[in-house]
Structure 1
Amino acid sequence: MARSDMSDLEWEFIKAVLPNKTRGKKRVDDRRVINGIFYVLRTGIPWADLPEQYGPPTTVYNRFNRWSYAGHWDRIMDAIADAHNVDTVMVDGTSVRAHHSATTLKKRDPRRCLGRSRGGLGTKIHALTNQDGLPIRYELTPGQAHDAPPCKALLDSLQPGQHVLADKAYDADWIRDLIWEQGAIDVIPPKANRKLPAEFDAELYRERNKIERFFGRLKASFRRIATRYEKTSRNFLSMIKLASVRLWIEFYESAA
């Protein structure tokens, strides 16, 4: 059994939210195939180098790609990362450099989501997490993009009374307005050039290190995310969400 293979509890979580309607012949064993996907996610190896114990690499990849296109990985994460009644949320972004195998699509292809920044050609992952530093939702942008614009999607369903933690890069009037209009409370330090510095809860702001630690753990534990190998942003986001599912389940296991 490889380190990346699911525990029985993890499998019970995931099995409960897998699509159960099939056409034609019966699917190849779901647990074996998903363990193969997790092996690629953790190690970063090419699909073709997948160990024999997970079955034919084309079967594992095709299942990953097909379910990514159908949105099944999105629904699995949504089912596990239930974000109701969260007191505090945090928003931030991190850059990921792209492997040359991920850069073969044409530059104008909308599926690409790649851009050149100081670290080279890459993608930026923007995340909203809860107070424990566990992910709720994501947005992807080309590597050179600013952190602020994805807030329109990340912060569009806040709850009244929630605290929203973010660093100075998010100190923009429209972001503060977006938070206030939903009845939430911004905890964002003002930029040095702000004419009327905004007050914020400095003690609560210290908790923001949890989202930075989350990004560190995401990259350290899953090589397929530390470096982007997926050609399409859709499949790269699916890998991120699968990693998130594992982090959420680990949290549930430790809490139990």
Structure 2
Amino acid sequence: MPRTMLTDEYWSKLIRLMLKTGRVYDKPEHRNTFEGILYRMRVGCPWRDVPEAFGDWSAIYRRFNLWSKKGILMQLFAELRQLADLEWEFIDGSIIKAHQHATGARSEDKEAVGKSRGGNTTKIHMAVDSCGLPIDFIVTGGEVHDSKAAIELLKQLPDAEHVIADRGYDSEKIREQIREKKGVPNIPRKRNSKIGNGDIDWCLYKHRHLVENVFARLKHYRSVATRYDKLARNYASTLALACCLIWLPMWVG
């Protein structure tokens, strides 16, 4: 039997979360299916190469694709992040290499695959809370600048007392959007700025490593570190599931 990722405690928590979506999954075969999805997420193999110990690969893929289409995995993430500490919010982006298998989707949409210096890439725009736990994200093509995606990301984020980001987000439009949400922007200006950075809380800014730590943890999963999914919603669901695994130890239900 291949190494599994779900302890009895974690599976019990996932069952309770799934029940909140109106579905019952407390069956051994469903646990195997979930383990198969996690196995593929961890090792980054094609769905056809998921070991038979987890069940038929096509059934595992169909269930994952259905959950992705219905937004089930995003719902699980949304339930977990309600515990977020919103005194601080840290935002940042990270480039992800898109494997050749991630291209060629039968869709008129670009499916969040873009061209950058690294070739076909996707970018994750992530927000974390005061404790360094993921609270939301969006997925775009790799060529999309952080400051451009920040406008959309900030719209869907809950209000926070302080929003911290690096110089890549140096934009008065972003600062104004944060202030409209009753928050205080802590974003350094570029070195050639005539305004300067006298208003920046550098002590707080040093905690920006919390969002970098989340990227480091997410990229332990090879299906996150390299994108293999053709559909943007499937990659986003994989990312949401990885975020759920970060949250699970803190959730008591």
Aligned mates of 1:250, 1:27 — CA distance in 2? 22
Q: Root-mean-square deviation (CA), in Å?
A: 2.1
- Determine helix, strand or coil for the equivalent of 1:136: strand
Residue by residue, what CA displacement relative to the aligned partner does 1:163-213 show, whole Å, maximum 9, x if unpaired? 111000111000000111111111111111222124210011000011112
Structure 1 window deviating more from structure 2 (77-86 vs 36-45): it is: 77-86
Q: Give the 3 Å change call, closer, same or farther, for CA 167–201 of structure 1 in structure 2.
A: same
Is the Cα contact below 8 Å between 2:80 and 2:251 reproduced in 1?
no
Number of the residue aligned with 2:167: 168
AA matched with 2:147 = A
Number of the residue aligned with 2:125: 126
Number of the residue aligned with 1:137: 136
Is the Cα contact below 8 Å between 1:158 and 1:184 reproduced in 2?
no
Number of the residue aligned with 1:206: 206
Structure 1 window deviating more from structure 2 (175-184 vs 110-119): it is: 110-119
Number of the residue aligned with 1:52: 52
- Determine helix, strand or coil for the equivalent of 2:75: helix
- Structure with the larger helix share: 2
Is the Cα contact below 8 Å between 1:155 and 1:179 reproduced in 2?
yes
Aligned mates of 2:174, 2:251 — CA distance in 1? 32
Aligned mates of 2:91, 2:16 — CA distance in 1? 29
Number of the residue aligned with 2:9: 9
Q: Give the 3 Å change call, closer, same or farther, for CA 111–120 of structure 1 in structure 2.
A: closer
Number of the residue aligned with 2:242: 243
Residue by residue, what CA displacement relative to the aligned partner does 1:63-108 show, whole Å, maximum 9, x if unpaired? 00011000101101111122554211100000001111111226x7
Shift of 1:152: 2.2
Aligned mates of 2:187, 2:212 — CA distance in 1? 15
AA matched with 2:159 = Q
Calculate the TM-score normalised by the size of structure 1: 0.90
1:17-96 equivalences in 2 (<5 Å) = 17-18=17-18, 19-21=21-23, 29-96=29-96
Aligned mates of 1:209, 1:84 — CA distance in 2? 17
Is the Cα contact below 8 Å between 2:2 and 2:53 reproduced in 1?
no
- Determine helix, strand or coil for the equivalent of 1:59: helix
- Determine helix, strand or coil for the equivalent of 1:95: strand
Shift of 1:249: 1.3
- Determine helix, strand or coil for the equivalent of 2:148: coil
AA matched with 1:101 = H
Shift of 1:153: 2.7
Shift of 1:5: 2.4
AA matched with 1:47 = W
Aligned mates of 1:244, 1:169 — CA distance in 2? 24
Identity %: 34
AA matched with 2:207 = E
Shift of 1:16: 1.1
How many residue pairs end up in the alignment?
247
Instruction: List alignment gaps of at least 5 residues for structure 2.
Output: none
Is the Cα contact below 8 Å between 1:158 and 1:179 reproduced in 2?
no
Calculate the TM-score normalised by the size of structure 2: 0.91
Number of the residue aligned with 1:180: 179
1:104-115 equivalences in 2 (<5 Å) = 104-105=104-105, 109-110=108-109, 112-115=111-114
Shift of 1:159: 2.5
Aligned mates of 1:56, 1:89 — CA distance in 2? 41
Aligned mates of 2:144, 2:4 — CA distance in 1? 33
